[in-house]
């Protein structure tokens, strides 16, 4: 069984499964997005138009960025329920810094990122130090950050004007800058996961944390870092959203955490940890966004929209189970 020919054969089927494998992996998601677009284009008049696609592309960068952070957290079998509130809090900090404290916009953005990371440090550190499940700690942070957002803005929407408006308006080759930033973050996230030591540790921790520890690696700082990344990405999303609306709303990002989790799960990341390509989460966001826009242009009422979106989430996860069982067999 282990003669020389076999061993040389093994070498050929090696790590770089090649572009084909990657494409096969994403084919299902691509098909799903294409099918939705076709469906809505055929059933409505306005759906298939450049403006409509531009609107979608403008709406989703924040969701994509937050979903990327969420993917990292889910991979280590954690969960971050605070991303929506942290986004709101970071937006509030940004607004207050520019409007009330008269800080230079660039510095204000930096401050916002620090605020997001601080929330992440709290989440990660508390859950590690006292072995509290991240579900609980981030549930606490969900309230803490929302309260903070209201405190900082005194519960009023801060109008910022065009101080950082340039960010959302800028575009490269017709694609908005936020969308490009989101794509870059997804690509970077994917590379970190599949090609770096850090990414390997994340997958290993999500698979068997005790075995990681007994392999001579301390999982704790790595886990804290993951929550810091999630907080930072929520801050980046806050900057993008604030610049788009030209104002900081203390209620921004309300319910965002569940949307992000839904998108990531549609992408096939397991809540049990150890698995989850970032690119698939990107498609998850895309599917939800296209579905929402399509249903809107069909004139579907809000209550039905939610009902349908919910069904799609469940169906997507069930389908993914089948996909996995199928690939496991072949």
Partner 1 sequence: MDSLLSVSNICKTYAVQVLSNVDFSLRRGEVHALVGENGAGKSTLVKIISGLIRQSAGSMELNGRPFAPGSRMDAEQCGIRTVLQELNLIGNLTVAENLFFTGIPNRFGLIRYHELNKAAAVLLDRFGLTGVNPRMKVSALGIGRQQLLEIAAAMSCESPILIMDEPTAALMDPEVELLFKHIKEKRDNGSSVIYISHRIEEIKRIADRITILRDGCIVGTYNAADIGNDEIINQMVGRSMDQVVERRSQASARIALKAKGLTRRPFFHDVSFELRKGEILGFAGLMGSGRTETMRGIFGADRFESGEIYLDDSQQPVSIKSPRHAVRNGIALLTEDRKEQGLFLPLSLRENITITNIGAVASRIGWINHEHEHAEADDWIGKLDLRCRSPEQKAVELSGGNQQKLVIAKWMFRDCRILIFDEPTRGIDVGAKVEIYKLLNNLSERGKAIIMVSSELNELMALCDRIAVMSAGKLAGVFDRGSWSQEILMEAAFSEYLTGERRNPQSPLDEGKDETGPVNHETSNLS
User: How far is 185 from 222, CA to CA, in rounded Å?
Assistant: 19
Is residue 129 involved in binding partner 1 (CB under 8 A)?
no
Is residue 21 involved in binding partner 1 (CB under 8 A)?
no
Judged by beta carbon, residue 7 or residue 301, the one nearer partner 1 is 7
Taking alpha carbons only, the member of 283, 325, 289 closest to residue 56 is: 289
Say if residues 240 and 63 touch (Cβ distance below 8 Å): no
Judged by beta carbon, residue 301 or residue 329, the one nearer partner 1 is 329
Q: Which of 99, 163, 212, 233 binds partner 1 (CB under 8 A)?
A: 212
Taking alpha carbons only, the member of 290, 236, 288, 295 closest to residue 263 is: 288
How far, CA to CA in Å, does 181 sit from each of 4, 9, 60, 121, 290?
49, 42, 11, 24, 20
User: How far is 250 from 305, CA to CA, in rounded Å?
Assistant: 26
Q: Which of 170, 197, 307, 318 binds partner 1 (CB under 8 A)?
A: 197
Say if residues 160 and 247 touch (Cβ distance below 8 Å): yes
Is residue 22 involved in binding partner 1 (CB under 8 A)?
no
Is residue 213 involved in binding partner 1 (CB under 8 A)?
yes
Judged by beta carbon, residue 11 or residue 301, the one nearer partner 1 is 11
Q: Closest approach of Cβ 55 to partner 1, in Å?
A: 38
Say if residues 242 and 160 touch (Cβ distance below 8 Å): yes
Is residue 275 involved in binding partner 1 (CB under 8 A)?
yes
Is residue 20 involved in binding partner 1 (CB under 8 A)?
no
Q: Closest approach of Cβ 25 to partner 1, in Å?
A: 14
Binding site for partner 1 (CB under 8 A): 1-2, 7, 10-11, 13-16, 195-198, 200-201, 203-204, 207-208, 210-218, 274-275
């Amino acid at each position: 069984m282990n003669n020389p020919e076999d061993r040389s054969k093994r070498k050929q089927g090696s790590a770089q499964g090649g572009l084909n494998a990657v494409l096969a992996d994403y084919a299902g998601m691509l098909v799903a997005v294409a099918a939705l677009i076709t469906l809505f284009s055929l059933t409505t008049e306005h759906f298939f138009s450049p403006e409509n696609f531009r609107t979608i592309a403008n709406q989703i960068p924040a969701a994509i960025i937050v979903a990327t952070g969420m993917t990292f957290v889910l991979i280590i079998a954690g969960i971050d329920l605070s991303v929506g509130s942290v986004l709101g809090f970071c937006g509030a900090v940004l607004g207050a810094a520019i409007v009330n404290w008269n800080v230079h916009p660039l510095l204000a953005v930096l401050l916002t990122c620090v605020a997001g990371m601080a929330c992440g440090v709290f989440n990660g550190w508390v859950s590690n130090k006292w072995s509290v499940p991240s579900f609980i700690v981030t549930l606490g942070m969900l309230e803490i950050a929302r309260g903070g957002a209201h405190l900082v803005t005194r519960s009023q929407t801060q109008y910022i004007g065009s101080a950082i408006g340039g960010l959302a308006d800028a575009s490269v080759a017709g694609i908005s800058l936020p969308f490009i930033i989101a794509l870059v973050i997804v690509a970077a996230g994917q590379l970190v996961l599949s090609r770096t030591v850090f990414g390997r540790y994340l997958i290993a921790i999500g698979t068997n944390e005790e075995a990681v520890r007994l392999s001579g690696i301390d999982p704790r700082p790595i886990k804290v870092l993951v929550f810091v990344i999630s907080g930072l990405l929520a801050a980046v999303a806050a900057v993008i959203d604030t610049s788009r609306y030209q104002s900081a709303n203390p209620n921004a990002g309300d319910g965002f955490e569940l949307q992000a989790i839904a998108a990531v799960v549609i992408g096939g990341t397991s809540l049990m940890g150890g698995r989850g390509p970032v690119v698939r989460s990107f498609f998850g966001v895309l599917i939800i966004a296209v579905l929402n826009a399509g249903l809107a242009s069909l004139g579907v009422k809000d209550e039905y929209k939610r009902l349908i979106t919910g069904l799609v989430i469940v169906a997507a996860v069930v389908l993914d189970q089948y996909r996995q069982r199928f690939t496991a067999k072949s």
